[in-house]
Amino acid sequence: MYSLFPVITQSVESTMDLGAQVADMLSPGDVIALDGDLGAGKTHFVKGLARGLGYAAREVRSPTFTIVQVHEGGTMPLYHFDAYRVGSPEEFINLGFEEYVYGDGVTVVEWPRRVEDLLPEHARWLRLEHVSQSERRISTDR
């Protein structure tokens, strides 16, 4: 997967296409940590990832207020977490985070630095950065 990066996407659609391409390389138990500023394209990347796993991209919304969205019925479950509003890592633990991370699906965590100590060593870190109004630079972060 890391051979794809770094890459600059030219639009929301190309960010989503990259997510779909990454989905083809994932296996149950994989964890992706998406780091980047507000509006950097993290949720659009997850929409593409979801599409690649057999879900409708429109089903994916930022789980900022719900903290986790579970998608089932595709090629494998997708567990989409957003740690932006998490007060402490214990909140993630209370949500059953470890059951998801070590479960049978793919786990994606936006704002991962807020719960960094909970992420497994095998987590794949990606950094999304603004290049221009429509362009994003996506690179490995570790």
Could you list the mean pLDDT of each consecutive 10-residue stretch along the chain, which spans 142 residues? 86 96 96 94 95 89 76 94 87 88 94 94 95 94 72
Measured CA to CA, the distance from residue 69 to residue 80 in angstroms comes to: 5
Annotation: CATH topology of 2-140: Rossmann fold (3.40.50)
Whether the predicted model's global pTM rises above the 0.85 cut: yes
| Residue 27 burial by Cβ neighbours in a 10 Å radius (0-12, 13-18, 19+) | exposed
- The predicted pLDDT at position 123 comes to 96
Tell me the CA end-to-end span of the chain in Å, nearest whole number.
13
- For 79, residues 6+ apart whose C-beta sits below 8 A from its C-beta are 68, 69, 70, 71, 100, 101, 103, 105, 106, 107, 108
Query: Would you say the C-alpha torsion 109, 112, 117, 119 has a positive or negative sign?
Result: positive
* Residue 126 bridge partners (DSSP): 34, 140
> Backbone phi, then psi, for 103, in 5-degree steps?
-95, -155
Measured CA to CA, the distance from residue 88 to residue 111 in angstroms comes to: 13
Q: What is the pLDDT of residues 32-72, one digit of tens each?
A: 999 999 889 999 999 999 999 999 888 887 766 678 889 99
